[in-house]
Amino acid sequence: MAAPETTAAPQAGGTTAQETIDQAGEAMVEFHNVSKIYPGQAAVENLTLSVATGKITVFVGPSGCGKTTSLRMINRMVEPTSGTITVGGRSVATIPAHELRRSMGYVMQQAGLLPHRTVLDNVSTVLRLNKVPRAQARKRSLELLETVGLPASMARRYPNQLSGGQQQRVGVARALAADPPVLLMDEPFSAVDPVVRAELQAELLRLQRELAKTIIFVTHDIDEATLLGDRVAVFATGGRVAQYAPPEEILRAPVDDFVANFVGRDRGFRHLSFSPGGDVPLHPAPTVLPGDAPGGENSTHDAGAAAASRWMLAVDADRRPLGWHAPGASAAGGSTELVPGGSLFHEGDSLRNALDAALSSPSGLGVAVDGAGRVAGVVHAAEVLAAIDAAREGRH
């Protein structure tokens, strides 16, 4: 793609538009000085921003700051007052709106499915509009349902026979139907409960690893933004972008008080999600097999009284963790009830997960497991903190 024409005006955070494009790699969608002015109010003002091809770009910010308006100007659901938006190097103003919309996937908060059509028909709609023969559209739609994790048996249902999370999955399948290079997602997961939301987020990341679409994702949730975004644009009131950077940078170095406040109080802890936990030393876990008491012959650590005076991790025959024996549980008749364990630290996880494993464990020892869920060792909170310090020094 030819290098786009840009202004050299500095962006928020001190970078020029050209630098932003360079950092973003090849740009799929670009805003050049785009404004949308409603009577008496600027919804978006002088937005200049590049969206990288094949990446997830998140627009995040408080309510009313112009995220949705910016998104909708890409497919001309809203027309800008001034400025230019290009997709794949072409100004969207030169592409008929219906054609443009059909060429992009669009997923919104309430999946927006047609209530009187089956799930299969909802997914097939765009394919049929694009003149794909019925049998082929049906086959492709069934494949897409599988892609988004829905069984083929749901294809005949109507939207009101699905849960909110399932409807959102159908919405994603429908948006992917025409295999569009660009996917616009406007708060697609905000109407579902937190557990389903986490599943849908994980699913989107999995899908994106396979599909590498250019996704523009609007949310007002900073956690969702930093989890999903390759790059995050933090919008402030009036459609001004306060910071546009990778999530790690937004958490580590918010550019001003507005971004720092928006990102919130736990940002130091959340930033640890971006630091690999591989340098945290693993210690042998003090384990004991079921049916054996702490200090018994199958304890890996300390014999007899010494083991009985410390926390011991109960494991099954495959060394998967079951819970903890509190100090005092012994062959001599102490309690054999297991205390539930904390979160597990998986090989390859971040420092955040390592610290959480240590802090959430009743013993103070975070349990590390391998890919098969077997105990690989334990981590100490103090050593995780030392690794955090070392990582910080390495950065500076």
The residue among 315, 344, 310, 350 whose CA lies nearest residue 330 is 310
Nearer to ligand ATP, 66 or 366 (CB): 66
Rg over alpha carbons for the chain, rounded to the nearest Å, is 26
CB of 71 to ligand ATP, least distance (A): 8
Binding mask 22-51 for ligand ATP (x = CB under 6 A): ----------------x--x-x--------
Between 314 and 353, how does the x/- string for binding to ligand ATP read (CB under 6 A)?
----------------------------------------
Q: What does residue 232 show for φ and ψ, rounded to 5 degrees?
A: -125, 130
Segment interacting with ligand ATP (CB under 6 A) among 1-9, 64-72, 274-282, 377-385: 64-72
CA nearest 84: which of 48, 114, 111?
48
Q: Which is nearer to ligand ATP, 54 or 64 (CB)?
A: 64
Q: Using the minimum distance from each CB to ligand ATP, give the nearer residue, 69 or 122.
A: 69
Instruction: Give residues with Cβ within 8 angstroms of 250, minimum separation 6.
Output: 226, 232, 234, 243, 259, 263
Tokens 């969207």 belong to which residue? 92
Based on the shown chain and the rule CB under 6 A, indicate whether residue 67 belongs to the binding site for ligand ATP: yes
Among 6, 20, 50, 69, binds ligand ATP (CB under 6 A): 69
Q: Which is nearer to ligand ATP, 79 or 370 (CB)?
A: 79
Q: Is 68 in the site for ligand ATP (CB under 6 A)?
A: yes
| Residue (64 or 373) nearer to ligand ATP, CB | 64
Q: Are 75 and 68 in contact (CB under 8 A)?
A: no
Give the ranges where the chain is alpha helix by DSSP (H): 17-24, 67-74, 97-102, 119-129, 134-147, 164-176, 194-211, 222-228, 247-252, 257-263, 267-271, 304-308, 351-360, 381-395
Asked if residue 65 binds ligand ATP (CB under 6 A), the reply is yes
Q: Which is nearer to ligand ATP, 68 or 166 (CB)?
A: 68
Q: How far is the CB of 69 from ligand ATP (least distance, A)?
A: 3
Tell me whether residue 231 or residue 352 sits nearer to ligand ATP (CB atom). 231
Give, as ranges, the residues between 281 and 320 that touch ligand ATP (CB under 6 A): none
Asked if 53 and 8 count as a contact pair (C-beta separation under 8 A), the reply is no
Size of the site for ligand ATP (CB under 6 A): 12
DSSP bridge partners of 303: none
What residues form DSSP beta bridges with 85?
31
Choose which of 64, 112, 323, 362 interacts with ligand ATP (CB under 6 A). 64
Is residue 120 a contact partner of residue 138, using CB atoms and an 8 Å limit? yes
CB of 169 to ligand ATP, least distance (A): 22
The interface with ligand ATP within residues 134-163 (CB under 6 A) comprises none
188 lies in the site for ligand ATP, by CB under 6 A = no
Six token digits for residue 7: 């202004």
Mode of pairing for the β-strands spanning 90-91 and 82-87: antiparallel
The single residue among 20, 55, 66, 170 that binds ligand ATP, judged by CB under 6 A, is 66
| Paired strand residues for 316 | none
Q: Which two three-digit tokens encode residue 52?
A: 């990288």
- Position of tokens 């047609």? 114
Sites for ligand ATP among residues 208-267 (CB under 6 A): 220
Quick one: which of 24, 89, 62 has its CA closest to 230?
24
Calculate the alpha carbon distances from 126 to 98, 133, 172 in Å.
12, 12, 13
Please, which residue, 39 or 394, has the CB nearer to ligand ATP? 39
Q: Which of 4-12, 45-53, 58-66, 172-180 is the region at the interface with ligand ATP (rule: CB under 6 A)?
A: 58-66
Part of the chain binding ligand ATP (CB under 6 A), chosen from 56-64, 82-90, 152-160, 282-290:
56-64
76 binds ligand ATP (CB under 6 A): no
**Residues interacting with ligand ATP, by CB under 6 A?**
38, 41, 43, 61, 63-69, 220
